[in-house]
Amino acid sequence: MTTDSLDHVTVTLADGNVDRAFAKTIHPASASPLFEFIPPEHHAIVLEQLNWLDEPRVYGCGLESDMPEGIRLPKLLAIDRACDDRLVLWLEEVDDEGGPWNLERYRRSARALGRMTGRWPEARVERNLGLGRRSLHYLFYGKMMNVDLPLLADDATWDDPAVREVTAADPKLREDLAWLAGAAPALLDRAEALPHGLAHGDASPTNLHEPGDGTVVAFDWSYGSLGPVGSDLGQLLAGRFDSGVAEPDDLPAIAETILDAFSGGLADEGYPAPSEEVRLAWATHLAVRSAFSAILVDRPGLGEADRADLIRRLAPLARYAVDLARSVS
C-alpha cells in the first residue's frame, strides 16, 4: 500500500559512465486506492503499521553493514523527494541469475532468511536499528474482516463456476475457511507473544534475487520490521503460487524444505528457536495473508480462463494453510 511505482531506468553517472538503476516511488498508505476499503476507525493503526518511511529507514539504519554471509540489501544510490508525500528510492539494479525456483533455490533463500533473523534478534534490532514490531492484527481486523470474510460468507462467491470446480475436489474448503476465520484472532495473539527478530515482511521469491555470486539480494523492504521468528516463511512459500507459476503438487516438498533450511540458518547464527514456535509463526502468517484471499481472485486484465486457472492453483494453498493452522492450534 505504500508503493506508488517501480521503474527500471538507465542513468548517466557524474563520471560519464552509464549504469542501470531501480527507482521505487513510495507514498503514505492513505494515498493507496486500497485505503478506502479500510474502516475509518482502523485508519490510525494502518498508518502506524504501514509507515511509508519505514523502507528508507531500513536502508539508512546501518543494517547493510552487518548482514550474515549469503544475504544482503541492494545498494541505496540516492533518495529524492518528488513532493511532500512522495519519495523516490534509487537502488542498484540486480539481475536475477539464480535460475529456476527448484528446491535447492528455496533452500538457499530460506537458510539466508534464517541467518538474517538469527543475526538480528529483537533486543539487538531495537538497540541498533530502531525498527519496531508490525503485527498482522491490522490486516485481519481491517481488510479481512471488512472485505474478504464477508465475501467468503456469501453464497454467490461459492456459486462461481471456477470456485465450484475447486470445491468439487475439496468439499470442506468453505467450512474449514470459516473455522480459520474464527481461529485467526487467537493464532495472531499467540504469534505476537513469540520471540521476534528482524523480518523482511514480504519475502516472496520475486523480491529475492541471486546475482550469481552466492548471495541473495532482498528487495522491497516496505514491510521490514520485527516479526515472529519464522513469519517470513509464509510469503516465501506463497509467492510463486500467488503469481500463478508454481504447481500445487510441489507444495509439501517446498514447505518441508524451507522450514528445515530456515531452522538451519537460525542454528548457523547460534539462535535457539524451538521448531514448534517457528511453525506457529509461519502458520499464522501464511493463514492470514494467503488463505482467505485464495479464491477471491479479482485482478484487472485477467481473463476468465486465466482467473479460473489461478484459483485452481491457489485453492490447494488455502487448504495447506488451513491444515497447517489446525496443526498448531
Say what percent of the chain tops pLDDT 70: 100
Q: pLDDT of 206-228, one tens digit each?
A: 999 999 999 999 999 999 999 99
pLDDT beyond 90 at 141: no
pLDDT at 34: 78
CB burial string 27-46: b at 16+ within 10 A, e below:
bbbbebeebeebeeebeeeb
- Contacts of 163 by beta carbon, 8 Å cutoff, 6+ apart: 157, 295, 311
Q: What fold, for 96-328? A: Aminoglycoside 3'-phosphotransferase; Chain: A, domain 2 (3.90.1200)
Q: Identify which of 94, 328, 125 has the alpha carbon closest to the alpha carbon of residue 213.
A: 94
pLDDT at 88: 94
- Judge residue 164's burial from the number of C-beta atoms within 10 Å of its C-beta, 0-12 exposed, 13-18 middle, 19 or more buried: exposed
Concatenated DSSP letters for 192-244?
HTS-EEEE-S---GGGEE--SSS-EEE---TT-EEEETTTTHHHHHHHHHHTT
pLDDT at 19: 81
pLDDT at 144: 87
- Computed over every residue of the chain, the mean pLDDT equals 92
pLDDT band of 2, cuts 50, 70, 90: confident
Joined grid coordinates for residue 87:
519519495
pLDDT band of 302, cuts 50, 70, 90: confident
pLDDT at 51: 87
* CA 59 to centroid of chain Cα atoms: 18
Handedness of CA 227, 229, 234, 236 (dihedral sign): positive
Q: pLDDT of 227-271, one tens digit each?
A: 999 999 999 999 999 888 888 899 999 999 999 999 999 999 999
Which whole-number Å values give the CA distances from 79 to 59, 147, 265, in the listed order?
A: 10, 35, 32
Question: What does the DSSP 8-state code read for residue 299?
Answer: -
Instruction: Write the single-letter amino acid at 23.
Output: A
pLDDT beyond 80 at 14: no
pLDDT beyond 80 at 296: yes
d(CA 254, CA 236): 9
Which whole-number Å values give the CA distances from 18 to 74, 77, 89, 105, in the listed order?
A: 18, 14, 18, 32
Kindly report the number of other CB atoms within 10 A of residue 254's CB atom: 22
pLDDT beyond 90 at 11: no
pLDDT beyond 90 at 272: no
pLDDT band of 139, cuts 50, 70, 90: confident
pLDDT beyond 80 at 315: yes
pLDDT at 74: 95
* CB 199 within 8 Å of CB 133: no
Q: pLDDT of 146-171, one tens digit each?
A: 889 999 999 999 999 999 999 999 99
Say what percent of the chain tops pLDDT 90: 71
Joined grid coordinates for residue 18:
552509464
d(CA 199, CA 224): 6
Q: What is the 3-state secondary structure (H, E, C) of 76-114?
A: EEEEEEEECCEEEEEEECCCCCCCCCCHHHHHHHHHHHH
**pTM value?**
0.92
pLDDT at 316: 95
Q: pLDDT of 184-205, one tens digit each?
A: 999 999 999 999 999 999 999 9
pLDDT beyond 90 at 116: yes
Q: pLDDT of 20-51, one tens digit each?
A: 899 999 999 898 887 887 778 878 877 887 88
Q: pLDDT of 51-83, one tens digit each?
A: 888 899 899 888 999 999 999 999 998 999 878
